[in-house]
Structure 1
Amino acid sequence: MRESPNIPEPMRKTTILTRLITGLTGLTLFACLSFGSDFRETPLTQLAQNEDASPESSPVENDFLFDYLMQEVKLHYTEGRLLALEADTDAVQYEFEYMLASMAAIEELDSLGPDQRGYFTSMARLVQGDFLPYLDQERKNMLANLTFREQMMQQEASQAAQDGEDEFVVLDDRDGHIPLVLNNRVRSIIKFLQTKRHAEFQTWMNRYAKYAAVIRPILKENGVPEELVYLALIESGLNVNARSWAQAVGPWQFISSTGKNYGLDRTWWVDERRDMVKSTEAGARYLKDLYKEFDNLYLAMAAYNSGEGRVWRAIRLEGHRDYWRLRTLPKETRSYVPTVIAAAIIIRNPEQYGFTLPAKEMMEWEEVAVSRSIDLDRLAQAAGISYTTLSTLNSELRQGVTPPDMTYKLKVPFGYSGKVAAVINNIPTSNKEASQIHRVRTGESLWLIARKYNVTVTNLVRANNLRNSNQLKVGQKIIIPAPGSAPSGRSLSTQTTQQLPVSTYNKKVYVVKRGDTLGHIAERYRTRASSIRRWNGLSYGDNIYPGQRLTIYQKKSDG
């Protein structure tokens, strides 16, 4: 077992009272998360989204799948807290992995309402804060999923923005461009990027050199300033795979509903929010609409961050339209525009600020029409193309294959279309599109069907367009998507067993008797029911039956 983190000795001596207090604390935390703003601190970004939401926003109670997955998070969270008190680091990390798997599945859900996004974001931050000290480096890296915009929310410049007397130096005020000014807020953020985020910002400048020649012409063609490329830089670091806790995806960080409004499709096979060209076109149209609405680029960018309604309310409340004097905007939004300006200033003269801007690349590609489902890795190998290059050019493909039942325009490196056309007919159709049909039997639930076929409940619901568990009827045909087609992430429907070292634990096999429950067995062996489930690959809610053989571990000191 790994060395446990430094925990004060009294915390290692877990008592019944400690368990009770911890359990009540967990229940209090979940009550705070579940029952509204009277009990929890709502994130600033979520405040804007909540206030802008229409009455039709989908509430948590109407989405059974969200509830199901969030319940899994809660169960593993509570168990992990108890295990942390016992300094059982291996077991804590096990619970953490299942929390992360459930949260990854939640991130894949469509059309989460503002309340659900806020609830999920709060829970994610709670998990991150409570479990980080107990994780090894690999698992700590799993938590490093904050977008740059979210990191900026946590940085000191956001808190130290100057609101008093401020000197404005105008660096660029040309028509058709973002006005670049230097003031206290911009200076503090430039300093922050130079010192505490230097390596990270340099990485994003490298990506800027790669994608600028693609993005800037699209912005110009849509009649918006080319400097808005720096807005995408701050949103995501120009990472096509960027995903925030708030469900925003891609270089322009669209949530599903806004992306759909601007023509970005999201299906089992593609997520156009991750396509650099399509998402930039959508981002340009959205920003153009915001500029028409506010007739001011600073206010348009602020609305991109916090929503139009939030900006209009600040304007009405304060009686002016000067972005720099709008005190009632969220702190994130008040730092957002200065951060975009800071990025623009640095990239104009990177050496002055200690950065290096590589020579701009020209991303060139050709398109090949593909009318069936083909694995990108097989195509790359057959055509002599780097798989990384091919997948980057087609970053919108979620399953690593071209979609079936449609003609898909596959991007290939410039000069390779002939070679791809010559080999593509010899590549077999991907088995990821294969599916099965299951007829619902008496007593079956979505969870049981998902477990039987080794697929996730999320994928089962999405493949069948289900909205609530009451839709299942005996004899109903359910499409079972191929297990290989599941999005990246650990399957929630297949539990793995955990084995403990024999040097520390005695391994026993218990044969279940009539009338036994996991709770009774756990009490007999001085352990927990959740541990028995973990050791035997049982999911929460699984039944045990007479004659079943269960593996039980006992610490050797316990006999």
Structure 2
Amino acid sequence: MLKKIFGLSCKNTCKYICLFCVLFSLAACSTKKSKEDLLDLERKAGYNNVDDIVFVPDLPDDDETPLSAIDKQVLGTGSELGQPISDEDWKDVVLHYKYFTRKKRDSFDRFIERGELWLPHIRKIFKDNNVPEEIAYLAIVESGFNPTAVSRVGATGVWQFMPYTGTKYGLTQNAWIDERRDTYKATKAAAAYLTKLYGDFGNWFLAIAAYNAGEGKISRALEGTGGADNFFDLSRKNYMLQGKTQLKDETKQYVPRFIAVSKIMKNLDLLGFKKPNPNAALKTETIEVKGGTDLVGLAKSMGMRWEDFAFLNPAFRRQISHPRELNTVYILSEGKDKALAFLERQESRAFAGWKDYTVKKGESVASLSKKFSVPVLMLKKVNPNLSDRPKAGTIVMVPSSKAALRETLDVTPAFEASSKSKKDKTRTIAEINTKGRFYTVSSGDTLYSLSRAWGTTPDLVRKANKMRDDELIRIGQRLVIPGDVELPDNYEVPPVTRKKTLKSEQESSSKTKKIETVKKQDKQEPAVKENKKKDKQTTNANSELKTNNTTKNKSYTIVKGDTLYSLARKNKTTTDAILKLNNFKSANDIKIGRNIKIPQ
């Protein structure tokens, strides 16, 4: 199976073996469990590469060195699988044993380190399902305990499930999640599959061979050889089979490789390997998240980096959970209360009203932005790996309606391209809209798509930015987002002409280099300029506070459909002003039936 997973041409073998050694030599010496050290575990486990680069020949060459007394003792260790092996069949087992204890000893060290995180969980699940715990070591043969390992044929995760088999045993796979990478769920699926195979063949070695080759392949091979007694008998009689019914060398060596690995794992002390720390397994808890949950926000609520969260939850393929399904999330016990509190807040499901959209031929991010009235930056934030010109068939997350987009804008952190200020990170787009803040134009944005997203008109955007009627926006241009806007009920966005769109794209492209130069110059501004900016901000803040203190207020009872943003826009005020006047912490305090004060 390892060759299937890590298969490489002979031409590239040397190159990848060297790369493997470099990667694996970077490991730290100790295992840690705190959330601050999760990335250390990730680097140590070698998960940064999706494909774990290890070349294992079907049958390793003999290094011609004799077995020591310790080697013979290790190879003589008993097995709970309880099947005798002839001296002839032991030859292949010995070759794999030598390969992992000598030539690839450093690789095996890495497998052991990875096993610290997962082996206790795997053993418990196997024990609960009456699968011999010794078969837990099959995960080394499959993937070296790497949850993100992907084979050249698409087998994925610690247990290397193919898509069909994974689905058959309950592992969900879609554009949002791949549960083959969820080691807990995949191990339960592997236990169920192995139990089924044992029931088919009545022999664990044949069941293990079928895990590699498929039950159909082993069944046909047994039938073609007249009913071999066991796996090794079947392997010896392989010459009796014709064409595709013959076992591949990979399968013939799969069981001997497993036996060798099992012998090594049972005798780590004797062989001088470092034994796994039984207390190193991550102590996690599971919580259920509803559709459209902001996983980045969930991670931040627990004080975790996204990389740490993804390490615990490698099954998620996006930073947002499936809009219409419940999903399991693994968290460290210490963060559970904060996580549950976050999930109660409105902003935790900012994208619940969004949906999957399949990109059609010829569509681009720019055209999608126009089609769904979503700023380009938001599309790219929600779909992190989205290219400017995605291939037809690409699944993209978009708002299902204008109402869904507006709900997202009310509670989602602003998508400000050039902002590096930590001060702005928690402001919502709704707050920025009503306060006349700034937005940096991205590729594909148009005046019309932006004005739609901001709930204003192109004319008001032009007016706020002192633009001529025929002036077009440019990539990198900082636009003032007009606030205090009240639109007429019958307002319709003017149609976009093809001529203007093309001209805008051409003009945007020609300005890119100049903008990049300006950005570099901005970064090199002296500290004096920053201090002046801070003084100005302080003055403005004091002025605003003074104004708020002298403003008349009116009383209002919140009704269904009201949002912080809609109230601010309707009353020609700002979201900040409403929050301050009522001593509210966030938009979550806007609740139906609540009586609030609104500044006039």
Distance in 2 between the 1:154 and 1:144 partners? 23
Once the two structures are superposed, residues 381-428 of structure 1 have per-residue CA deviations (whole angstroms, 9 ceiling, x without a partner) of 232235444323322211133322333332211132112223342755
Offset of residue 272 of structure 1: 1.0
Verify the 8 A CA contact 1:240 1:276 in the aligned structure 2: yes
Verify the 8 A CA contact 1:243 1:250 in the aligned structure 2: yes
- Secondary structure class of the residue paired with 1:311: helix
Verify the 8 A CA contact 2:298 2:348 in the aligned structure 1: no
Verify the 8 A CA contact 2:380 2:386 in the aligned structure 1: no
Report matched runs for 1:159-558 at 5 Å: 171-174=77-80, 177=81, 179=83, 183-319=90-226, 320-325=228-233, 326-327=235-236, 328=238, 329-360=247-278, 361-424=280-343, 425=345, 427-429=347-349, 434=354, 446-449=360-363, 453=367, 482-484=379-381, 486=383, 493=390
Offset of residue 334 of structure 1: 1.4
Change (3 A) 1:421 1:321: same
Distance in 2 between the 1:421 and 1:145 partners? 31
Distance in 2 between the 1:382 and 1:305 partners? 42
Change (3 A) 1:157 1:284: farther
Aligned positions, number: 340
Distance in 2 between the 1:490 and 1:430 partners? 23
Change (3 A) 1:453 1:295: farther
Distance in 2 between the 1:260 and 1:436 partners? 21
Distance in 1 between the 2:351 and 2:59 partners? 46
Offset of residue 372 of structure 1: 4.1
Distance in 2 between the 1:224 and 1:305 partners? 17
Offset of residue 488 of structure 1: 5.6
Distance in 1 between the 2:184 and 2:389 partners? 34
- Secondary structure class of the residue paired with 1:171: coil
- Secondary structure class of the residue paired with 1:266: coil
Offset of residue 198 of structure 1: 1.9
Distance in 1 between the 2:350 and 2:55 partners? 39
Task: Give the counterpart letter for 2:285 in structure 1.
Answer: E
Task: Give the counterpart letter for 1:172 in structure 2.
Answer: G
Verify the 8 A CA contact 2:363 2:389 in the aligned structure 1: no
Once the two structures are superposed, residues 320-363 of structure 1 have per-residue CA deviations (whole angstroms, 9 ceiling, x without a partner) of 22312323221111111111111111111113334212312243
Distance in 2 between the 1:281 and 1:449 partners? 41
Q: State whether structure 2 residue 60 is matched by structure 1 residue 156.
A: yes
Change (3 A) 1:201 1:130: closer
Offset of residue 493 of structure 1: 3.3
Change (3 A) 1:437 1:364: closer
Task: Give the counterpart letter for 2:253 in structure 1.
Answer: S
Change (3 A) 1:158 1:152: farther
Verify the 8 A CA contact 2:127 2:133 in the aligned structure 1: yes
Task: Give the counterpart letter for 1:493 in structure 2.
Answer: P
Change (3 A) 1:179 1:253: same
Once the two structures are superposed, residues 419-471 of structure 1 have per-residue CA deviations (whole angstroms, 9 ceiling, x without a partner) of 22233427554569846879xxxxxx93312576589xxxxxxxxxxxxxxxx
1:65 corresponding residue in structure 2: none
- Secondary structure class of the residue paired with 1:152: coil
TM normalised by structure 1 equals 0.52
Task: Give the counterpart letter for 2:286 in structure 1.
Answer: E
Distance in 2 between the 1:273 and 1:405 partners? 20
Higher relative contact order (CA 8 A, sep 6+): 1
Verify the 8 A CA contact 1:262 1:282 in the aligned structure 2: yes
Verify the 8 A CA contact 1:366 1:415 in the aligned structure 2: no
Q: Which runs of 5+ in 1 are unaligned?
A: 1-42, 47-120, 161-166, 439-444, 456-474, 495-547, 552-559
Task: Give the counterpart letter for 2:170 in structure 1.
Answer: G
Verify the 8 A CA contact 2:3 2:57 in the aligned structure 1: no
Distance in 2 between the 1:418 and 1:44 partners? 41
Verify the 8 A CA contact 1:259 1:265 in the aligned structure 2: yes
Task: Give the counterpart letter for 1:151 in structure 2.
Answer: F
Verify the 8 A CA contact 1:380 1:390 in the aligned structure 2: yes
1:528 corresponding residue in structure 2: none
Distance in 2 between the 1:408 and 1:436 partners? 17
- Secondary structure class of the residue paired with 1:447: coil
Distance in 1 between the 2:113 and 2:200 partners? 34
Q: CA RMSD in A?
A: 4.5
Q: Percent identity?
A: 27
TM normalised by structure 2 equals 0.48
Once the two structures are superposed, residues 289-319 of structure 1 have per-residue CA deviations (whole angstroms, 9 ceiling, x without a partner) of 1111111111111111111222223323333
Verify the 8 A CA contact 2:365 2:387 in the aligned structure 1: no
